[in-house]
Amino acid sequence: MNKTALNCLFVIVAGLELAGPISVFASPGDLYESDRGTNTIFRFTPGGTKSTFVTGLNAPIGLVFDGQGNLYEADNGSNSILKFTPAGTQSIFVSGLNAPTGLAIDAQGNVFEADFGSGTINKITPTGIRSTFASGLSAPMGLAFDSSGNLYASDITGNTISKFTPAGVQSTFASGLNGPNGLVFDGSGNLYEAEYGPDTIFKITPAGTRTVFASHLDYPFSLAFNGNLFEGDFGHGLIYKFTSGGAKSIFASANQPEGLAFEPPIQFRVVATVPLPATANGAVAVNQALNKIYASGGPSSGQDVVVIDGTTFATTDLGAGSGSGANVDVKTDHYWAGTVSGGSVVVRDGKTNNLLATVSLTNCPISTTYDFAKNRIWVGAQCGNGSDPVFAIDANTFQVIPGTPVPSGGVMGPIIANGANGRLYLATGGVSKRINPTNFQLTTNAFGTVMAINTLTNKLYASSGNNLQIINGTPDPETLVTTIALSYSPASIGVSPPLGHLYLANPNANCLEVRNSSTGAVIATFPLSSFGVVPNGAMTVDSIRGRVYLIASSGTGPVLLVIEDLTNARNSSANLGF
């Protein structure tokens, strides 16, 4: 290929062809290659078996996957980015570009596009809203993110690699190059750069040391990494594979390979979005044994309980006034809810939804929580003349336990029981408090609002402003283990003891943040913007099925998101860069 005729790579061809067949994705670890010579995206199994994924494209170049298994392709000839869902549905993600080349995706699911013709880098949200992230480049080509969220961009005629912080602050990472092209990071933070001038791949350490990794190539164009480095060799029409030590072998033949991307493991997926009435968006609980979910109202009148089948996601609305703050007695499969205007708490059979009992409390119950250790239902009520009361009810006899109600000393907020020792945690007027399960003594805690409890490890998880607190719930009083600064106040928190995962609903960034339940370290971030929702409601976790049930708001009203956590079943170091 004549390297002086660089612009020949970017001839714009009018019209967008969508004629080729699309097959569904095979499995994580497959390599996808955009082939300019045949206007095709090919798929290769780890063993090198080749199949056609889609044809009829228009000068396909950059490829990138998001965390939900959607594939994005920079269609250089049509000035568009195409999107292919895991089910094989093809659509135009964004159009009106100017010779799109490299693609990369950040942790929030935003797609970044190197716009060769305009010398800019565009940022496109999961819903397709485009904005300019950086401008003034000469000819941007390859893009790649490091583990800290910094974006690196190669400028093939400017002979530089620029680094951009998440805020867009630009600096020069490397200069004096000779046609830098594709970029990719390995798991240790080393950046690999395909350079077409010397037909070489260079390795740049995090400290900036640059060495030759592989040479004697012919127009190295694209790079991908999955433990080994793969390179699309445009001139030779081959895909090369390199071990960590640099040993080279031919992985597969191609025509003009211009983009490479590995299908990543799907860490999370939304399996259902269940519409909810506005009167049942205040609380959510799950009966894991029956595989039923209960969405219910909050602290106002006219609230109702909606029962959702965990297999079909069909809903049964029990009607206005049927309850707020529903919770499940896991020993009997009964579920409880407070009737705010009725001044009572009701208990129903989990299998039939039949009403079993109505317990009059005279106040206005808004929330319930089940204590496995003492087999009791705690009920938080309002209408308490400034000192909203907390009731304890025997789950067997449906009778209020003597010694309660306990005046909370303020306006009632969330309540949650620790099934390991029976202690109840509540918040009134923004102050965290605890009720002793034996003598019902009310004491003030030195931490924030407890929102989730891991009964296996006896750890409490509290929100204190923009801080996450992990608390040891065993001693008396409890002790603060660690405090982690957040950039937001979580709308809700859930925990999966078997997976060791802590889930935080981040309404500011429209995502579900997943952390280690012991240390609080971030494990993953699952963007939710593409679903058109804001995760600002209650949450519960089905540890048996690895599901998170999260109430969110949308343009059409509240919805229940059913999110599967697949991180325990799949693991990979596949790089999502250009």
Tokens of 250: 């031919």
Using DSSP's 3-state secondary structure scheme, residue 182 falls into strand
Percentage above 90 pLDDT, the chain: 82
* Angstrom distance (rounded) from CA 33 to CA 239: 9
CATH 2.130.10.10 fits 268-565, yes or no: yes
Each residue's pLDDT tens digit, 97-140: 999 999 999 988 899 999 999 999 999 998 899 999 999 999 99
pLDDT confidence bin for 570, thresholds 50/70/90? very low
Q: Which two tokens stand for residue 483?
A: 């405090």
- Residues 48-67, mean pLDDT to the nearest whole number: 94
DSSP state of 361: -
Q: Is the previous residue joined to 126 through a cis bond, with omega within 30 degrees of 0?
A: no
* Strand duo 533-534 + 334-339: pairing: unpaired
The mean pLDDT value for 5-32 works out to 48
Per-residue pLDDT at 560: 98
pLDDT of residue 265: 82
Pair 424, 438: CB distance under 8 Å: no
- For the stretch 156-191, pLDDT in tens is 999 999 999 999 999 999 999 999 999 999 999 999
**Residue 354 has what pLDDT?**
98
Higher pLDDT, 567 or 531: 531
What is the model's pLDDT at position 302?
A: 75
What radius of gyration do the chain's Cα atoms show? 28
Could you report the per-residue pLDDT of 249-281, keeping only the tens digit for each?
Answer: 999 999 999 999 999 888 898 999 999 999 999
Q: How far does Cα 152 stand from its chain's mean position?
A: 23
Residue 573: what pLDDT? Answer: 27
Task: Write down the domain spans for the chain.
Answer: 6-262, 268-565
Per-residue pLDDT tens for 462-475? Answer: 999 999 999 999 99
pLDDT-derived band at 447 (thresholds 50, 70, 90) equals very high
Distance CA 107, CA 511 (A): 10
Q: Give the mean pLDDT of 493-520.
A: 95
Looking at the DSSP bridge assignments, the partners of residue 92 are 82
Phi/psi for 377 (5° steps) reads: -105, 125
pLDDT band at 566 (very low <50, low <70, confident <90, very high): confident
Q: What CATH class does 6-262 carry?
A: mainly beta
What is the share, in percent, of the chain residues with pLDDT greater than 70? 93
Mean of the pLDDT values across residues 194-206?
96
Give the chain's mean pLDDT.
Answer: 91
Tokens of 218: 């012919």
For the chain, the first-to-last Cα distance in angstroms comes to 22
The dihedrals phi and psi of 389, each to the nearest 5 degrees, come to -90, 160
Per-residue tokens: 391: 């009731």
pLDDT for res 108: 81
**CA distances, 381 to each of 125, 217, 332, 344 (Å):** 42, 73, 24, 10
**What single DSSP character describes residue 16?**
-
| Residue 456 CB neighbour total at 10 angstroms | 14
Q: Give the integer Cα–Cα distance in Å for 366 and 187.
A: 49
Mean pLDDT of 50-66: 95
pLDDT tens, position by position, 342-387: 899 999 999 999 999 999 998 889 999 999 999 999 999 988 677 8
Q: Is the pTM of this model over 0.95?
A: no
Span 413-422, mean pLDDT? 94
The answer for residues whose C-beta is within 8 angstroms of residue 102's C-beta and 6 or more apart is: 61, 62, 74, 113, 114, 140, 141, 142, 143, 153, 154, 182, 183, 578
Q: Are 118 and 156 in contact (CB under 8 A)?
A: no
pLDDT at 301: 65
Residues 6+ apart with CB under 8 A from 212: 200, 201, 202, 203
- Mean pLDDT over 293-298 rounds to 96
What 8-state DSSP symbol labels residue 265? Answer: P
